[in-house]
Amino acid sequence: MLQTTGAATLAALAGCNTGTNDGASSGGGGGAPDPVRERVDVDVDEIQDGGTLRFGLGAGIDSFDPSYSTSAPAGNVHGLVYESIITQDAAGTVYPWLAKSWERVDVQEVEDGAYEPYMVSADTDDDGNLVADDQILIRNQEAGEVLTVNEAPDAVEDGTYGIKYQAKLHEGVKFHNGEEMTAENVARSYEVVENSSISAQTFDSFLYAEVVDDYTVNIYGQEPDAEADNQLPVDVYPMEHIEEYPDTGADPRNDHTPIGTGPYQFESYETEERAEFSSFDDYWLDDLGLDALEWWDGPDGFPTSPVVDEVVVAIVQDNATRAAALNNGEIDLTYGLNTGTYGEYRSAEDFRLSVTNAGAYNFLQYPVTQSPWDDPRIRRGVNQLIPRAQIAENIYNGYRNPAYTPLPEMAAKAGTVDYEALTEELRPQTEQNTEAATELLQEAVDDRGVETPIEATIETNATDDRLREAELIAQVLSNTEFFDISVEDFEFTTFIQRILGSEYYQQGNIVLIGLSGTFNPGSFYDAVNSIDNFGQCCNFNRIDTPELDEIATEARFSVEAVEDSQFRGEQYDKVWQGLIEQAPNSYTVFGTNVTALSTEYVGYNTYTFSSSILPYGLHAPEDQQVAYLNRE
């Protein structure tokens, strides 16, 4: 069975994330809107080289190895050192990066049971799940058989696969240890991800990587997959890492230096204090020049690598302390500060604010298995009571947009036929309308003989803004005759453990939390609705919408979806309409990434995902993005 799981994750002050910028989807294409608000440009002639950039990170670095990290903030560190064969601009368009070219060679329908001849029998663990020593790609629970990475080559040899991509690599790409990157590195980098903490994200669609020659590699996917161009690639590791680093991955805490092909090499790390990086002298793009990138059509003289010499990542967890550090000039930029301070950074002379519409939303999840919340009319009624405009305006000071659809605009290209039409269509059912809501609720309450007021608790994680949002919603609901809603808050990690518990859905609580998705529009559906994600990110209340699952699967894993973007959009439109109809979740506001920075750091723009705020700003030719330090 294929899981439609995207790399979606819970977003909080310190959200966790499994998708770095390569864990996202094409969606894009040339016409997608730029999510960066008020993008700033630099004049190539004015760029100054050198200097040390100090970045304030609001969370610890769980691992320096991308395949052992589930933290979105840590992605900012990974992006300095590691690179993938592709990169994605702020709108999600995929560009070949370490690969000269990255093209789909073949896509074909996969019959049910096509992989069965290659499967081997497997043991079951105490919970009845099939287990094997090697990374499992496909499970056949009834037969007790699995397809692991060992059998995948046989299937591919016989022409059993869903999709085939070919990467032709740049020649002369060097790792920080002097090793040269070849097709072997790309193919074997998947070994690093095997049975790691993010393995499910890769091996739900990856089948096999085959070395053709030194600089050509074919990568196969299990099914026809419309997101394959961005879901199949992984970060590329040197042989030293693949062969010698044990199961804990590259991390200075284990005396294993992170080694990648990236523009910065790791220098030092003081636990929970700071990490330092210096520019890599032998960076491949410096040697090859931007013209080696076939898609490059920017101005002459555009830097081939970041112009900043050294990067210091200072870990300061408390928002107020980080703001103070920025005010005092101890750091140059940071993100995730309290909304209340944004206005001041915007208007201050020595500071600037960079805002990007993020691939994220805040959502309320109802206890859909518990009475009376199992009645869709109750949920739709609540959905129409939520004061989205007030939340956006009064709590987030206009830095976030009301979520009238379940789909953020940055994923709109592949996620709908026409985003504006979709919003227009869904808005009458998601905009605050007390009258309509009262009617719905009254009908449901009378019908089922529910005693009012209905008591419930909104549970959320303890950040100021989100708590205010919960209190506002609770008050608006309680102001009607139907509800008596209270609010409870928890520290983030405690809260995650609590809501991921397998019994949690029986407690009848409403959850308010943030979701950080990917460029893949499906990530905004299945993470919070698919039963496959129950007990994981982010189905806490045992939501099950099988008929929508089917449409969402069709929208990604079918030959039609791969070849016809119109078809994809139509399928997803059906999904969004179904979601508003069944309303297992209510989407309140879309996220934004807001970075506050000193004006000494010139030309900076924020990325769509908080996992790549630092690397993207430094240098991203796909958006002609480069920033430099001008300290006077």
Partner 1 sequence: MSTERGRIRITGFDADRVESREPLSDWTEERDTETESRWERAWGEFRDNRSAMLGLYIVALMGILAVFARPVTIAGVTVQPFSLAPYDPSAILYVQGLDVSAYEAPSLAHPFGTDGSARDVFSRVLYGGRFSLSIGFIVVSITAAIGLVYGAIAGYYGGRIDEVMMRLLDLIFAFPGLLLALIIVAVLGKGYWELVLAFTVFGWAGYARLIRGEILKVKENEYVMAAKALGARDRRVIFRHVVPNAIAPLVVQASLSIGTVVIGVAALGFLGLGLPPGSAEWGTMLDATRETIVQGPGGTIPWWVTVFPGGAIFLFVMSMNLIGDGINDALNAQEGTDVATGGEV
Contacts to partner 1 by CB under 8 A: 319-321, 323-324, 327, 337-338, 340-345, 347-351, 387, 390, 394, 462, 464, 467-468, 471-472, 475-476, 479, 486-489, 491, 596
Nearer to partner 1, 468 or 542 (CB): 468
Quick one: tokens of 625?
A: 């993005």
Judged by beta carbon, residue 159 or residue 340, the one nearer partner 1 is 340
Q: Are 204 and 138 in contact (CB under 8 A)?
A: no
Is residue 517 within 8 A of residue 408, CB to CB? The reply is yes
At closest approach, how far in Å is the CB of 344 from partner 1? 3
Instruction: Quote the least distance from Cβ 539 to partner 1, whole Å.
Output: 25
Which residues have C-beta within 8 Å of that of residue 250, sequence separation ≥ 6?
64, 65, 241, 256, 257, 258, 259
Residue 475 beta carbon to partner 1: minimum distance, rounded to whole angstroms: 5
Judged by beta carbon, residue 323 or residue 620, the one nearer partner 1 is 323
Rounded to a whole number of angstroms, the minimum distance from the CB of residue 33 to partner 1 is 29
Residue 282 or 344: the one with the smaller Cβ distance to partner 1 is: 344
The distance of closest approach from Cβ of residue 512 to partner 1 in the complex, given in angstroms and rounded to an integer, is: 12
Question: Do 387 and 606 touch, CB atoms closer than 8 A?
Answer: no
Of 158 and 350, the one with the shorter C-beta distance to partner 1 is 350
* 329 C-beta neighbours (distance < 10 Å), count: 11
Using the Cα atoms of residue 152, residue 155, residue 159 and residue 163 in order, give the sign of their dihedral.
negative
Select 480 or 539, whichever has its Cβ closest to partner 1: 480
In DSSP terms, which residues pair with 595 in a beta bridge?
A: 335, 354
Q: Minimum distance from CB of 629 to partner 1 (Å)?
A: 19
Per-residue HEC secondary structure of 272-328 comes to CCEEEEEECCCCHHHHHCHHHCCCCCCCCCCCCCCCCCEEEEEECCCHHHHHHHHHC
- Taking the C-alpha atoms of residue 228 and residue 166, their distance in angstroms, rounded to an integer, is 12
Q: What are phi and psi of 177, to 5 degrees?
A: -90, 10
E-strand stretches of 162-263: 163-169, 206-213, 216-221
Helix/strand/coil for 597: strand
Query: For residues 513 and 363, is the Cβ–Cβ distance under 8 A?
Result: yes
Nearest approach in angstroms of CB 59 to partner 1 is: 17
In sequence order, the 6+-apart residues with CB closer than 8 A to the CB of 128 are none
Instruction: Closer to partner 1 by CB, 140 or 390: give it.
Output: 390
Q: What letter does residue 52 receive in the DSSP assignment?
A: E
Instruction: Compare residues 171 and 464 and give the one whose CB is closer to partner 1.
Output: 464
Buried b (16+ CB within 10 A) or exposed e, 19-35: bbbbbbbbbbeeebeeb
- Of the pair 488, 550, the CB lying nearest partner 1 is at 488
User: Shortest gap between Cβ of 460 and partner 1 (angstroms)?
Assistant: 9
Residue 458 CB, shortest distance to partner 1, in Å, is 11
| Of 51 and 387, CB closest to partner 1 | 387
Q: Which residues pair with 96 in a beta bridge?
A: 86
C-beta of 92: minimal distance to partner 1 in Å? 31
Helix (H) or strand (E) holding 99: strand 99-107
Q: Could you tell me if 124 and 131 are in contact, meaning their C-beta atoms sit under 8 angstroms apart?
A: yes
- What minimum distance in Å lies between the beta carbon of 343 and partner 1? 7
Q: Which residue, 406, 359, 407, 404, is CA-closest to 35?
A: 359
CB of 339 to partner 1, least distance (A): 10
The CB density around residue 266, as the number of other CB atoms within 10 Å, is 23
Cis ω for the linkage preceding 538 (within 30 of 0)? yes
**How far, in Å, CA of 63 to CA of 389, rounded?**
39
The candidate with the shortest Cα–Cα distance to 616, out of 36, 11, 59, 167, is 36
Find the DSSP H helices in 505-604.
523-529, 546-556, 559-563, 565-582
Report the nearest approach of partner 1 to the CB of residue 341 (Å): 4
**How far apart are CB 597 and partner 1 at their closest, in Å?**
12
Query: Of the two residues 170 and 400, which places its CB atom closer to partner 1 in the complex?
Result: 400
- The pair of structure tokens assigned to 282 is 């032998």
Residue 289's CB is within 10 A of a number of other CB atoms, namely: 10
Q: Which residue's CB is nearer to partner 1, number 482 or number 567?
A: 482
Q: Between 157 and 491, whose beta carbon lies closer to partner 1?
A: 491
Q: Residue 210 CA to chain centroid, in angstroms?
A: 27
Q: Which is nearer to partner 1, 91 or 485 (CB)?
A: 485
